[in-house]
């Protein structure tokens, strides 16, 4: 691989998050994947709260961020449970949090509870970054607009769109529809079962800052980036 190609792959890796969320993943697998994340130079890893300590033991001397999911996968549990999980993960050393928001609260007209959940998790995270995770297809446009405004008011500055929860694939058009409802200054992440560089690059070109995938090495070793005639990153 030429130095130019290595530079391109290194730059792409900085936009990737290694999602390590298989419920049956052993501690050995978690440790191996975290070592791989450090070797590849990815932005971060995302795990369940029960795997935070194991990840930090591998990654504590590296720049790789350790993110804990809260309320994964659908966000349907009680708000107090989410706050407790955030507090527990913070005590373990989690560096960022990905809060799956509850669409049912908006549909039920419980906007105050929706906002309280966001604020509780932000407070429990202290100064650490929180992402608000929207599951693909679970919010109507008007519900998403209302939820995004409360996300902004809560102090959360990153919105994540989570795919893989519906039969249809997550596409850049799904992201842009959500992005266009967001105020300026928001950052964005998408997460899904992405396997190809072409999928990842399409989201980056659409304005996504980070892409989560369980197959980071497969994405990086795909040769499509070398065929691109322009920068894959949106300015």
Q: Yes or no: say if 65 and 88 are a contact pair by the CB < 8 Å rule.
A: no
Domains of the chain: 3-227 (3.20.20.70)
Inform me whether the pLDDT recorded for 193 exceeds 50. yes
Tokens of 101: 């928001």
Q: Yes or no: say if 207 and 185 are a contact pair by the CB < 8 Å rule.
A: no
CA dihedral 152, 63, 206, 12 (to 10 degrees): 180
Q: Is 186 left (phi over 0), alpha (psi -120 to 50) or beta?
A: beta
Question: What pTM does this model have?
Answer: 0.93
- Express each pLDDT in 119-139 by its tens digit: 999 999 999 999 999 999 999
- For range 37-48, the mean pLDDT: 98
Q: What is the DSSP string of 63-86?
A: S-EEEEEESTTT--S-HHHHHHHH
């Amino acid at each position: 691989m030429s130095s130019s190609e290595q530079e391109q792959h290194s730059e792409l890796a900085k936009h990737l998050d290694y999602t390590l969320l298989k419920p049956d993943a052993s501690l050995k697998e978690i440790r191996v994947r975290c070592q791989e994340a450090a070797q590849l130079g990815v932005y971060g890893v995302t795990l369940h709260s029960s795997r935070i300590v194991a990840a930090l033991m591998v990654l504590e001397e590296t720049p790789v961020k350790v993110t804990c999911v809260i309320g994964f996968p659908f966000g349907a549990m009680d708000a107090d449970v989410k706050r407790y999980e955030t507090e527990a993960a913070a005590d373990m050393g989690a560096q960022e949090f990905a809060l799956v928001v509850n669409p049912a609260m908006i549909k039920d007209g419980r906007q105050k509870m929706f906002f309280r959940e966001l604020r509780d998790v932000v407070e429990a995270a202290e100064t650490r970054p929180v992402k608000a995770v929207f599951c693909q297809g679970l919010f109507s446009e008007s519900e998403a607009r209302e939820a995004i405004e409360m996300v902004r008011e809560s102090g959360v500055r990153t919105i994540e769109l989570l795919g893989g929860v519906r039969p249809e694939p997550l596409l850049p058009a799904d992201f842009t529809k959500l992005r266009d409802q967001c105020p300026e200054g928001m950052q964005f992440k998408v997460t899904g079962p992405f396997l190809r560089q072409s999928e990842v690059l399409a989201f980056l070109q659409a304005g996504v800052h980070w892409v989560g995938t369980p197959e980071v090495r497969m994405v990086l070793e795909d040769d499509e980036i070398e065929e691109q005639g322009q920068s894959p990153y949106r300015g």
